[in-house]
Amino acid sequence: MALIVQKYGGSSVATPELIRQVAKRAIDTHKKGHQVVVVLSAMKGETDRLLALAHDMVREPEAREVDQLIATGEIASVALFALACQALGEKAKSFTGFQAGIQTDEMHQRARITGLDPARVRTELAKGRVVAVAGFQGLNEARDITTLGRGGSDTTAVALAVALGADTCEIYTDVDGIYTTDPHICESARRMEKISFEEMLELSSLGAKVMEIRSVEFAMNYNMKIHVRHAHQPGGGTLICEEDSDMEKKPVTGVAYSKNEARITLTKVADQPGIAAKIMGIISKSGIVVDMIIQNQSAEIDPALGQPLTDISFTVPLSDYARAMEMMEGTAAEVKAARIVGTDNIAKISLVGVGMRNHAGVASQMFQTLANEGINISLISTSEIKISCIIEKKYTELAVRALHDAFGLGQATTDA
């Protein structure tokens, strides 16, 4: 007998009929002799609907009341699920996040789980019931309802799996696994059997939407394997687990892209201590997350001051672009920048793979592949298992396909 946590996303419980199907799937697992805990998201579109209602009441709704409101989406899902199980003759009980013992910090709408006491869940499991827990929510010390941030039901599932010592954590969604790249733009994209936590973490941070990033972090920290599967189709899915020697054979595991960034360049700023700190300090104080930063070596000398000059470029999320430009315009005089140039006509293309650690030449092959397609690279950043390039937006699809091909990702073999 295994203890299995199954999480179903909003699209998998979008209608009463789909909720019944999810109930059947959970019951099937239970009938095989396993203990089953189901974590559900709100029905598709429900969280957005509730948020829009809140904004209809007041322009800037109080975070506490927003949480109070949007937590109901998940609560409705689990109650309906329990009723669906009961209609199918199965004993089931639903819990809100806080009834299931999920404690969080104070941060409304972005709360972190600080403790989890699943005693009630265990008691119900022991009685032979299927237990459903509302995702995305907990209770803070003041005993107010908090929510965990968009996509947070994944974190609920992983945290419960860890706290219960579950044998597996299954994430059911509307795709059948993690792909080598976006199958919508690359025909030869392939579902991976396995991917390491680290690679998944990079892919999530690069914009792959299948798994919420915090949940992957959580799973990695506690070594909780995650099995990503399609909610309504049979099939193998993808296992997210610790790195193994198979995974290291290929230099690159996946190609990711993002069109959600913008680049800002300050030209001819003084190349002296404190300038980068000043620019980045202003940006980070405003809560904007900078991804890539590049400072050129100074080539020019300021004729008036006899000081070296340099250019600094960085990228920010598209949603923060206008705000960041405004801030820089205010700072330009202070750092004596000649010009501020911004563009959102960019895309970030990234290669990810734990195999990069022991394969040389991945970067040069990436640059050559882009060069062969006549694509110019404007910024580059690397980490141990990732290389990212900023290119012109219109080349995104071409770049993804060319790189997917060049690194042989369409082929099923794991041999290098």
Contact residues: ligand ASP, CB under 6 A: 9-10, 41-42, 47, 73, 135-136, 150-153
Among 151, 177, 237, 251, which residue interacts with Mg ion (rule: CB under 5 A)?
A: 151
The answer to whether 135 contacts Mg ion (rule: CB under 5 A) is no
Choose the one of ligand ASP, Mg ion, none that binds residue 145, judging by a C-beta under 5 to 8 angstroms depending on kind.
none
Residue 95's binding partner among Mg ion, ligand ASP, none (Cβ under 5 to 8 angstroms by kind) is none
Q: Choose the one of Mg ion, ligand ASP, none that binds residue 101, judging by a C-beta under 5 to 8 angstroms depending on kind.
A: none
Q: What is the dihedral of CA 108, 111, 115, 116, to 10 degrees?
A: 90
Indicate the residue among 77 and 315 with the shorter CB distance to ligand ASP: 77
Binder among 5, 7, 8, 9 for Mg ion (CB under 5 A): 9
State in angstroms the smallest separation of the CB of 79 from ligand ASP.
15
Pick the piece of the chain touching Mg ion (CB under 5 A) from 4-12, 45-53, 259-267, 394-402. Answer: 4-12
Smallest distance, ligand ASP to C-beta of residue 172, A: 12
Judged by CB under 5 A, the stretch of 6-14, 25-33, 364-372, 407-415 that binds Mg ion is 6-14
**Nearer to ligand ASP by C-beta: 152 or 353?**
152
150's contact among Mg ion, ligand ASP, none, with CB below 5 to 8 A by partner kind, is ligand ASP
| Contacted by 136, from ligand ASP, Mg ion, none: CB < 5 to 8 Å by type | ligand ASP
> With respect to Mg ion, which residue has the nearer C-beta, 135 or 355?
135
Residue 118 or 135: which CB sits closer to ligand ASP? 135
Nearer to Mg ion, 73 or 151 (CB): 151
Among Mg ion, ligand ASP, none, the one that 42 touches (CB under a kind-dependent 5 to 8 A) is ligand ASP
Pick between residue 151 and residue 237 the one whose CB is nearest to ligand ASP: 151
Could you tell me the smallest distance in angstroms from the CB atom of residue 214 to Mg ion?
A: 12
Name the token pair of 239.
């296992």
Choice between 161 and 247, CB closer to ligand ASP = 161
Q: Contact residues for Mg ion (CB under 5 A)?
A: 9, 151
